[in-house]
Chains A and B, each alone.
Chain A
C-alpha cells in the first residue's frame, strides 16, 4: 500500500503544475452563468489549450487520439487542475466523459475519425439524451421511438435533464427501435445533430433558479443510419460503457473543492463567532474526517481500477452514496454557520446548498445505488 507518487507520476505532476502556473493567469474572465454562448466559447477555449499542451483526452486510448494515461495519472490531472483553480470541464463533459469514450470503444473507424478529434480539439459540444419524463431511475423504460426509413431513423419523443442542450452540436441519444423486444434489448444509440429539423430545446428551470438543464423535444427528426454506434437494438450495452465512466473519477475535482470549501467555512465560523459553539465546531471536524476519508476512498478505487484496465468497479456506487450525502451535510452545516444569512442567496454556500439537493438523485438515486450495492456487490437476491 503506497500513497506516494511514483517517479513518473511525480514528474507528470510537476510539469502539469508548471504549465498551470504559466497559463492560468492569462485566461479571459469567467463568463456570466446565464450567457450560454459565452460559456461554450470559454469551455472550448480551455479544451483547446489542453489540446495544444498535450493534456486533451488524457485518459482516452492512444488509438482514439488520447494519451492512454491510467486512472492514477488522470487522478493527478483532476486534482492539480482543481487545486490550481483551472476551469471545470463544463460544456466538454459529455464529449470527454460519456459520448467520446463510447465512440472510442464501440464506434467504427469512420465514426471515430469524424467525432473524436473535434471533442479533443475543443471544437464540438455534446449533450446527453438519456432520461425521459417517464424514464428516470428506470432508464430502460424509455419510450422515444425511432423508425427506420431508408438510410435514416425517424425519431419522435422527448428527453429531459439534458445539460448544455442549447449550445450542443451533437446529442448522444437513446431511442427505442424495437418496442416488442424485452426492454433492455430494443434500444439503440444514435448521434443526433442538434441542428436537425424537428429538434426543439426548452430550458428547464431548477429549484436553484438556474437553467442548467433543458428539455429536448423530437418531432419526426431524421437521423442518418450511419450515425448509429453499435448494432441496432444493442444500445443498452453500448450505454453501460459510458455510465461506468460516470461513476469512476467523475467526482475527484468536487472532493478537492469540498475540502477547500470546508476550510473556508471554518474561517467564516471563526470570523462570525460560531466557532465557539462546540457541537458545531465538532461537526466541522467530523466533516474534515469525512472528506479526508472520501479522498482516500477515491485513491483506493483509482488504484483498484488501475489493476482492472481502467474500468471502475461497483466501488463507484459505494463512493457516490457516501459522497452525495456528505456534500449535502457540508452545506447544511454551512447554513448553521451562516445562521439567518443562510436565507440570503447573495451569501456563499446558499446556492450551493440548493444545488446539492440533486446529488442524491442525479446519476442514479441513492435508493437505486443501494440496490446496486446490495445486488451486485453483496449478492442479495433481486426483487422489490
Chain B
C-alpha cells in the first residue's frame, strides 16, 4: 500500500495548476463573472490540447491513457480555480463525441433536473427537449430546467464517474477556501492583532481543513477503487467540505465576505451548484445505509 500521489501524479497536478493559474487566474475569473453565460472557446481548445478532456482516453485512440486517479487530480485543480463550463460532460464524451477530446466541441449532459451551459454547448447528451432557462444563483454556471411530469420519481443523478469527478471539483474548492480563509485571518487586523490570533477564528479555519483533508482521503480512495460505495461516500464528504468550507470562509471574511467583489461567494455558489449536479444526496445516504445490512438471499 502506498496511498499518496506518485511523483508523476504530483507533477500532473502541479502542471494543471500552473496552466490554470496562467490562463484562468483571478483577472480572467472576474472577467468571466462580468460576461455571464459566455464560454471561452479559446480556453476550451487549450484545455483540449493540454489533454484535459482526453486524459483517460487510451493512447491508440489519441488520448493520454491515464486513469481515474489522474483525472481526479486534474478536476480537483479545475474546482480550485473555479474553471467554468461543462468540463465533466465533455471529458466523459471524449472518444464518443467527435471533437470532444480536442476541445473543438463543447458537450453538456442532461443528467436529471438541470442542464448546465445548454445554450453554449454544441452537443447535449440525454434528453433536453423543452428545457427552460433559469436565473442561476451561480454567475459562472448558466442553467436550464428540464420539464418533469408531476409525481415523477426523484432524479437518479449521473453515472458514478461523473459523481466522482464532481467530488474532486468540490475537494479543490474546499482546499482553496481554506487557503482564502487563512490568508484573510492572517492579514486582517481588528483589536490590534490579526483576527487569526483569536481562537474563535482559528477554530473555524481548523474545521475547514479537517473537513477538506477527510474528504481528500475519501475522494482519492474512490479514485483508486472506483467502487460505487466509495464514490457515494466521497460525494457526501466532498459536498460537506465544499459547502461548509465556503460558508465558514465567508464568516471569517466578515463584512467583506458579503460583497460581490470578494471571491468567496463564487466558491459557495459553485459548491451549491455541484451538489445539485450529482442528484439527490439522500440517494447516496440510502446506498450507504443498505450496504450496512447483510446481503439478503
Contacts and interface: CB of A to CB of B under 8 A. Distances in A.
Interface of A: 1-6, 9, 72, 75, 262-263, 265-267, 270, 278, 281-286, 288-290, 292-294, 296-297, 299-300, 302-304, 306-307, 315, 318, 321-322, 367, 369-371, 373-375, 377-384
23 contacts: A3-B221, A3-B224, A3-B225, A75-B1, A263-B292, A263-B293, A266-B293, A270-B293, A288-B288, A289-B233, A289-B284, A289-B285, A296-B3, A296-B218, A299-B1, A307-B4, A321-B210, A369-B206, A379-B182, A380-B182, A381-B193, A381-B196, A384-B199
Contacts of A263: 292-293
Interface of B: 1-6, 9, 69, 178, 182, 185-186, 193-194, 196-199, 201-203, 205-207, 209-210, 213-218, 220-221, 223-225, 229-230, 232-234, 236-237, 282, 284-294
Contacts of A282: 282, 285-286, 289
A289 B203 contact: no
B269 to A, nearest CB: 24
A378 B185 CA distance: 10
Contact of B3 (A278, A285, A300, A367): A300
Contact of B194 (A6, A75, A381): A381
List of 10 A-B pairs having minimum Cβ-Cβ separation, nearest first: A285-B289, A383-B197, A266-B292, A282-B285, A374-B202, A289-B233, A285-B288, A285-B285, A296-B217, A380-B196
Contact of A281 (B182, B236, B286): B286
Which of B6, B232, B237 has the most A CB atoms < 10 Å from its CB?
A: B237
Contact of B210 (A5, A267, A286, A322): A322
Contacts of B213: 297, 315, 318
A266 B194 CA distance: 47
A369 B202 CA distance: 11
Which of B4, B193, B292, B293 has the most A CB atoms < 10 Å from its CB?
A: B292
B294 A267 contact: yes
Given A3-B221, A293-B217, A371 B237 contact: no
Contacts of B3: 1-3, 296, 299-300, 302-303
A263 B186 CA distance: 44
A373 B289 contact: no
Nearest to B69: A1
Given A1-B224, A299-B3, A318-B209, A281 B186 contact: no
A300 B1 CA distance: 10
Contacts of A383: 193, 197-198
Contacts of B214: 293-294, 297, 318, 322
Nearest to B291: A288
A177 to B, nearest CB: 32
A265 B213 CA distance: 27
Contact of B223 (A1, A290, A297, A303): A1
Contacts of B201: 380
Contacts of A266: 289, 292-293
Given A3-B221, A380-B185, A375 B202 contact: yes
Nearest to B185: A380
Contacts of A384: 197-199
A369 B221 CA distance: 25
A203 B288 CA distance: 43
B4 A304 contact: yes
Contacts of A306: 2
